[in-house]
């Protein structure tokens, strides 16, 4: 009996040793019925390069197995034909005819719910937040054992503060009441770095929600709860770089998974060489291939394996969670040809998906260069619907803080809008006055509540998709340098906070004045056909006044809106006869904020540093 047990133990042990652990198979599962039948699995395990692969499942074909430089990887090409049905099947890894390991792969049915992947348009109002700094809904995940960052410290702007996805879920009613229709969080996926990775842009696992924020399942629940409230979701994604803590960077499939240089080379942060017909090839390469910072390796997007990995990951998240739109980080730093192909592949799977790219550039022409329809000097279409409108932001600051001149003050704003002819559709651009990388709006306008209201009025009536940075509605302030205080916690998001700004009772009188203004105008915008999808007509500024109209085309129901900006320190009288083209026989209007009736027969009084939003009768 004893000998028999020994023999069984030896056989069991030998069999266990024969099994090879697969550390990663990505994507972990997929869906039947995708438009693109091709799927490339990244398989990672110790010394698996010589293994053959076998599978037998109706509608799924094994096309090719790729060996690469690193023996710890295989890339497996599959074809998921139209005949494939949802179900599980084994993928076997063989060595000299002997099964070494097996992975149970699953094809799921696609979710065809009407509420999924709605798209984000100029009908929406986006709220940008940093989950680590918004609200801590689950203190149990503040510090997660095994991760590189081992503590939380709210007294430092460079450590984790404990905010999470549950914290956002807990305040969906607040966002809804503010008039928000769409939530954009900075990246939620794992950033397992030693420090200062709370922002989310140093990914270390593309397929995993950071455990300090929650789980993949919780993220999916979050999207569902947002949709149930009648709101939408934007996911922030990063093509350009990863964190040095990424498991792939620690054991790369091949050397050129990231862009390599003889010595460390940082990007120039200059977008001009990408579009400059006279640019140096070296300048262009440095912009596109230089590393963002030493802790964020620059991905080689010309590598077809990298391309497949990123594209499939983004498709996976959209299909898995039902995301409505994507914000593309550092768009101008990415390989242009790959990004154009990427956009086509995602639109093929999700026709209603909205996409906009971050373009912190210095001219309207530069912004427009990256958008779809502009093929001059590149020979292909980017297929990028819209961008973050940095030039509009700069123009609004000049309009509110500058002095009126031929091209200064309100004329800067007028001039920027007049260049909308450069875009295929400027209403797809996201307009904003601040974000997590910039000084806060309220500080830049010197904490002037009148300028604040003017800025919010323009944000919510201008063409494009308005975006508000968290806390702007309650006058959160600070400058981007030197201490990163623009990323301060939302007061009331943590148990024990002395103030709760999520409630009217917790806000000061001035904060409530700001919140009431934003929410009232945002709610009005949500019901106004003119502000959502109406056309725009602007008039050359005169006497310190800038006037534009959002109007409804013939055959549609609703009322037109007139916006009057007085950026000067004294009240003005606006002669309305000049605007007969849009006002026609209108003799009265309603002030959208105050509800007061305004006589528009001859003149309109405009207080100093005020923007009037008038609904024309």
Query: For this structure, is 329 an active site residue?
Result: yes
Which pairing describes strands 386-387 and 354-357: parallel, antiparallel, or unpaired?
parallel
Helix (H) or strand (E) holding 359: none
Question: What sections of 229-329 are H helices per DSSP?
Answer: 247-250, 272-275, 281-289, 304-321
Residues 6 or more apart whose CB falls under 8 angstroms from that of 339 comprise 239, 301, 328, 331, 382, 384
User: What is the spatial distance between Cα 526 and Cα 532, in angstroms, rounded to a whole number?
Assistant: 7
CB 87 within 8 Å of CB 59: no
**CA proximity to 312, closest of 352, 345, 355, 358:** 345
Instruction: Give the SS3 label for residue 387.
Output: strand
Of 358, 398, 489, 560, which one is the catalytic site residue? Answer: 358
Which string of DSSP letters, residue by residue, matches 138-190?
A: -GGGSS-TTSS---B-TT-TTSB----HHHHHTTHHHHHHHT--EEEESP-EE
Q: How far is CA 532 from CA 270, 461, 528, in A?
A: 34, 8, 6
Which string of DSSP letters, residue by residue, matches 563-612?
A: EEEE-SSS-EEEEGGGGHHHHTT--EEEETTT--EEE-SSEEEE-TTEEE
What sign results for the dihedral spanned by CA atoms 474, 477, 483, 484? positive
Q: Give the side-chain half-sphere CA count within 13 A for 270.
A: 12
User: What is the spatial distance between Cα 503 and Cα 500, in angstroms, rounded to a whole number?
Assistant: 6
Query: For this structure, is 337 an active site residue?
Result: no
Q: How far is CA 337 from CA 333, 379, 384, 615, in A?
A: 12, 10, 12, 45
CB 195 within 8 Å of CB 158: yes
Tokens standing for 115?
């509420």
The conformation of residue 20, written as its DSSP 8-state character, comes to P
User: What is the spatial distance between Cα 189 and Cα 199, in angstroms, rounded to a whole number?
Assistant: 10
Q: What is the CA radius of gyration of the chain?
A: 27
User: What is the spatial distance between Cα 348 and Cα 132, in angstroms, rounded to a whole number?
Assistant: 34
Of 190, 329, 335, 511, which one is the catalytic site residue? Answer: 329
Q: How far is CA 204 from CA 133, 291, 577, in A?
A: 20, 16, 61
Residues 6 or more apart whose CB falls under 8 angstroms from that of 39 comprise 27, 30, 77, 78, 79, 80, 312
CB 84 within 8 Å of CB 107: yes
User: What is the spatial distance between Cα 443 and Cα 452, in angstroms, rounded to a whole number?
Assistant: 10
Helix (H) or strand (E) holding 97: none
User: What is the spatial distance between Cα 150 and Cα 170, in angstroms, rounded to a whole number?
Assistant: 26
Catalytic residue numbers read 329, 358
């Amino acid at each position: 009996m004893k000998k028999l047990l020994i023999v069984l133990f030896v056989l069991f042990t030998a069999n266990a040793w024969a099994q090879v652990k697969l550390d990663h198979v990505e994507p972990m599962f997929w869906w039947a019925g995708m438009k693109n039948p091709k799927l490339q699995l990244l398989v990672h395990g110790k010394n698996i390069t010589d293994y053959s692969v076998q599978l037998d499942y109706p509608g799924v074909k094994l096309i090719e197995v790729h060996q690469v430089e690193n023996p710890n990887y295989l890339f497996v090409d599959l074809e998921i034909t139209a005949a494939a049905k949802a179900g599980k099947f084994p993928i076997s890894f063989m060595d000299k005819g002997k099964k070494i390991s097996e992975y149970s792969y699953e094809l799921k049915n696609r979710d065809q719910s009407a509420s999924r992947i709605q798209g984000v348009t100029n009908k929406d109002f986006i709220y940008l937040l940093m989950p680590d700094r918004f609200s801590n809904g689950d203190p149990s995940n503040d510090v997660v054992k095994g991760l590189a960052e081992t503590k939380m410290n709210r007294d430092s702007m460079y450590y984790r503060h404990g905010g999470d996805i549950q914290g956002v879920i807990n305040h969906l009613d607040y966002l809804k009441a503010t008039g928000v229709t769409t939530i954009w969080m900075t990246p939620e996926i794992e950033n397992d770095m030693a420090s200062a990775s709370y922002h989310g842009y140093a990914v270390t696992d593309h397929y995993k929600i950071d455990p300090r924020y929650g789980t993949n399942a919780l993220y999916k629940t979050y999207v569902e709860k947002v949709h149930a409230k009648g709101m939408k979701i934007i996911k922030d994604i990063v093509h350009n770089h990863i964190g040095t803590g990424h498991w792939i960077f620690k054991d790369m499939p091949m050397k050129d998974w990231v862009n390599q240089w003889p010595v460390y080379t940082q990007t120039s942060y200059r977008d001009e060489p990408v579009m400059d017909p006279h640019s140096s090839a070296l300048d262009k390469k440095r912009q596109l291939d230089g590393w963002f910072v030493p802790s964020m390796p620059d991905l080689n997007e010309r590598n077809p394996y990298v391309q497949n990995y990123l594209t499939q990951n983004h498709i996976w998240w959209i299909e898995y969670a039902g995301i409505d739109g994507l914000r593309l980080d550092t768009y101008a730093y990415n390989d242009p040809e790959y990004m154009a192909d990427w956009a086509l592949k995602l639109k093929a799977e999700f026709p209603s998906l909205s996409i906009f790219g971050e373009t912190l550039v210095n001219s309207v022409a530069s912004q427009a260069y990256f958008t779809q329809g502009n093929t001059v000097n590149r020979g292909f279409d980017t297929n990028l619907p819209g961008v973050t409108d940095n030039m509009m932001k700069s123009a609004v600051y000049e309009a509110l803080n500058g002095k009126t001149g031929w091209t200064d003050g309100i004329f800067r704003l007028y001039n920027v809008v007049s260049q909308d002819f450069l875009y295929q559709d400027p209403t797809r651009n996201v307009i904003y006055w601040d974000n997590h990388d910039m000084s806060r709006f309220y500080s830049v306008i010197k904490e002037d509540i009148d300028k604040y209201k003017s800025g919010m009025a323009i944000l919510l009536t201008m063409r494009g998709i308005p975006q508000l940075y968290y806390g702007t509605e309650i006058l959160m302030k600070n400058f981007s340098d030197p201490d990163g205080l623009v990323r301060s916690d939302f007061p009331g998001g943590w148990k024990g906070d002395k103030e709760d700004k999520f409630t009217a009772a917790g806000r000061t009188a001035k904060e409530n004045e700001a919140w009431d203004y934003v929410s009232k105008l945002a709610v009005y915008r949500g019901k106004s056909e003119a502000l959502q999808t109406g056309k725009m007509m602007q008039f050359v500024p005169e006497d310190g006044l800038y006037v534009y109209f959002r109007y409804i085309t013939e055959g549609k129901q609703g009322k037109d809106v007139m916006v009057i900006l007085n950026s000067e320190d004294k009240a003005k009288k606006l002669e309305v006869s000049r605007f007969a083209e849009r006002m026609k026989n209108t003799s009265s209007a309603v002030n959208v904020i105050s509800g007061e009736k305004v006589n528009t027969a001859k003149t309109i009084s405009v207080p100093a540093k005020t923007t009037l939003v008038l609904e024309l009768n």
